[in-house]
Amino acid sequence: MIVLRDVTVREAAQKSLLDAGAALTLRLEENQRLQQKLEQQAFQDHLTGLFNRRHASTVIPPVLSSASENAPVSLIIVDLDYFKQVNDRYGHDVGDNVLSSFAKILSDSLKGAEFAFRYGGEEFLIVLPATARDSALERCAQWRHELATLAIAELGDVALSFSAGIAIAPQAGTSLLECTKTADIALYRSKISGRNKDTVWGEHLDGMDREGPADGHGARTAPSGRKAMLP
């Protein structure tokens, strides 16, 4: 006896089930990509590509809390000098170009567990583990030189500069609040001393009764041949 069965319906059902499974997999993968993108946007500055201030509060505290006399951590706040002038004179597109270009200078210089953040407006925050005072000043000098010699057509021969405040943990504290506060104090000293300078907290009162910055504050000037931005 021969029994014949039509399997067309069963095969069609199996194919439909496989297609539905493949579609579900694609949708799950797309949802994962969207979730990753949203998570990235939550901690990344959209203009510069650096981490944002919100993410700083997550990743910096463990780094600072591990600081010791033998392995200090340098927290640096950098503020671009006279940035409002750039926006007013040359337009916000040029200003955005300056921010993005300086962010690239920072990101290209980072090594190992170092971090850079856009902290707000024209302010940047950099964290350098296992970095003492002199090395932090050397890094600032490197960034300052690259910024001053940055080629942006709209600015012509204008040399950009920045002021910086440096807090060294654990001397300046071991929490994000303590170190950003002390770095801000040092940054303020750099600004009132004429800008285009670096000041280390703990040395920020040195030379207050003398004209000009005290030795050891890492003062830098724009390279010759280019004119500095004036107030």
Q: Could you list the active site residues? A: 122
Residues sharing a CB contact under 8 Å with residue 90, sequence separation 6 or more, in sequence order: 154, 155
Closest to 133 in 3D by CA, of 217, 226, 20: 217
Burial of 140: CB neighbours in 10 Å, binned 0-12, 13-18, 19+: buried
Helix (H, G, I), strand (E, B) or coil at 126: strand
CA dihedral (175, 180, 182, 186) in degrees, to 10, reads 150
CA dihedral (13, 19, 21, 27) in degrees, to 10, reads -150
Looking at residue 197, its amino acid is K
